[in-house]
Structure 1
Amino acid sequence: MLQAPIEGYEDAIVVPPINANNFELKQTLINLVQSNQFTGRQDPHNHLRFFNKVTSTFRHPEVPNTTIKLLLFPFSLEGEAWIWLDKEPPRSILTWEDLVSKFINQFFPPLKTTYLRNEIVNFLQKPNETFNEAWERFKDLLRQCPHHGFSELHQLDTFYNALNPNDQEALDSAAGGNFLDKIPRECLSIIESKSKVQYLRSRVIDSRMSTNALPSSYSPSHSFDL
């Protein structure tokens, strides 16, 4: 007589044994995780950011946060994403790092990673693009591919060499010499400071232009119709 198989029905995620007393996942935490479930169509990096933020709010002195994440992650999936996890081989995900790696490889294909890495490497400031606009665009590329693998120094070198001569000179001047001779933290501080100043300056200019564009007969009203 044939017997039903007893193997192959285990979950893909292996959760380490939990020996803590009185440990349980609160339903409120599960509900919070389920409030923004990943279907397979959204940005997987944004989902991981949200998930990490939510799970960081729950701490237990005897249970590692990574174990809590392994327990909760399935609750954050639905649809196509849930089917993917359900089809993963039993006991094939042993750590949180394993899970993140498989999740990203599934929903952020290597081809897309290669494309974005090339966009980062070949980044150039556009004609008529301000320093602030270029910096924000560069950061957006990095955010879209947080697993790009480039060091801070490599990122700063790429951005500096992508700038027009005037902006490079401004960074060198702010650094009191060769900008790239500074440590990454100082370089980043200089860039952010210059970007903020330029952004605020552009806001002031835009405000003045808007004011000057008002018709001469215009006078502000101080009454409101309710």
Structure 2
Amino acid sequence: MADNRTMAQMLQAPIEGYEDAIVIPPINANNFELKQPLINLVQSNKFTGRQDPHNHLRFFNKVTSTFRHPEVPNTSVKLLLFPFSLDGEARDWLDKEPPRSILTWDDLVSKFINQYFPPSKTTYYRNEIITFYQKPNEAFNEAWERFKGLLRQCPHHGFSELHQLDTFYNSLNSNDQDALDSAAGGNFLDKMPQEGLAIIESKSKVRYSRSRANDSRVSTDAPLSNSSPSNNSFDMQQNTRLSRIK
């Protein structure tokens, strides 16, 4: 078929290829509207590509969970709002994704995580978890918080709760292992995973409260220790005067 367009028409920019990467499922609901306060809340914590992507998703999920509509799936709301939560490099990344290449919320999460938390990073954190050990002079609660931090930084680590507790227990020094065994009334690993986790959390809180109490004592005692140098200074002055008299 002959192309009857003029040369001017042929030289015009094409109108295709401007579709977004995210495909929003049809929403057949009356009075559905994304309120500006919700958009503002999403935009209050924009991801630029340099923050922790897992923390961003946690915040985003928490915010979008506050929106409820009987005829609109929450995943559709998330697909609509997610672009508002990106800025800078991250927004450029989404804009460069092929048109209509993201069909579901799971698709979006998978692409987002793999972009900003690649498999090499997952391997690194898995190794950090597997080879975790309590540092010399590291308090029990400090080791536990550091271990939980590693788990949180890589939530798709794949380790079961049993594996996590076994790894942490075997990373401890003998004194802290004995303390856990004592709290368990025997071998700590003979407990059910949920019981073991409760014991660790309880012991961690006790250590934390004691640590804060010790810090408080140090700050309370500080003025007393500061007073001794002045006494020494006074004694030195007195000795100097005596030597002059002699």
Note whether the superposition's TM-score is higher than 0.5. Answer: yes
Aligned residue for 2:84, secondary structure, equals helix
- 1:177/1:76 Cα in 2 relative to 1: closer, same or farther (>3 Å)? same
1:162, 1:32 → 2: CA distance?
A: 41
Aligned residue for 1:214, secondary structure, equals helix
Normalising by the residue count of structure 1, what TM-score does the alignment of the two structures yield? 0.89
**Structure 2 letter corresponding to 1:113:** T
Normalising by the residue count of structure 2, what TM-score does the alignment of the two structures yield? 0.82
1:212, 1:31 → 2: CA distance?
A: 49
Please list the CA deviations of residues 42-63 of structure 1 after superposition, one character each: whole Å capped at 9, or x if unmatched. 2212211211111111111221
Question: Match for residue 157 of structure 2?
Answer: 148
Question: Match for residue 180 of structure 2?
Answer: 171
1:177, 1:102 → 2: CA distance?
A: 47
Residue 100 (structure 2) pairs with residue 91 (structure 1): yes
Question: Match for residue 75 of structure 1?
Answer: 84
- Out of 119, 125, 144, which is 2:128 matched to? 119
- Out of 25, 37, 42, which is 2:34 matched to? 25
Deviation at 1:178, TM superposition (A): 2.3
Aligned positions of 1:3-22 closer than 5 A: 8-22=17-31
Deviation at 1:5, TM superposition (A): 5.7
Deviation at 1:68, TM superposition (A): 0.7
Residue 118 (structure 2) pairs with residue 109 (structure 1): yes
Structure number with larger C-alpha Rg = 2
Please list the CA deviations of residues 111-168 of structure 1 after superposition, one character each: whole Å capped at 9, or x if unmatched. 2221111111100001111111100111111122122121111111111111111111
2:150, 2:69 → 1: CA distance?
A: 36
Question: Match for residue 210 of structure 2?
Answer: 201
With 203-212 and 70-79 compared, the bigger mean Cα shift is at 203-212
Please list the CA deviations of residues 181-212 of structure 1 after superposition, one character each: whole Å capped at 9, or x if unmatched. 32222111111100000111122222223323
Aligned-residue identity in percent: 83
1:182, 1:15 → 2: CA distance?
A: 48
2:94, 2:41 → 1: CA distance?
A: 20
With 164-173 and 67-76 compared, the bigger mean Cα shift is at 164-173
Question: Match for residue 223 of structure 1?
Answer: none
Q: Name the count of aligned residue pairs.
A: 218
1:70, 1:199 → 2: CA distance?
A: 41
Structure 1 residue runs of 5 or longer lacking an equivalent are: 219-226
Deviation at 1:94, TM superposition (A): 1.8
Residue 193 (structure 2) pairs with residue 184 (structure 1): yes
**Structure 1 letter corresponding to 2:121:** K
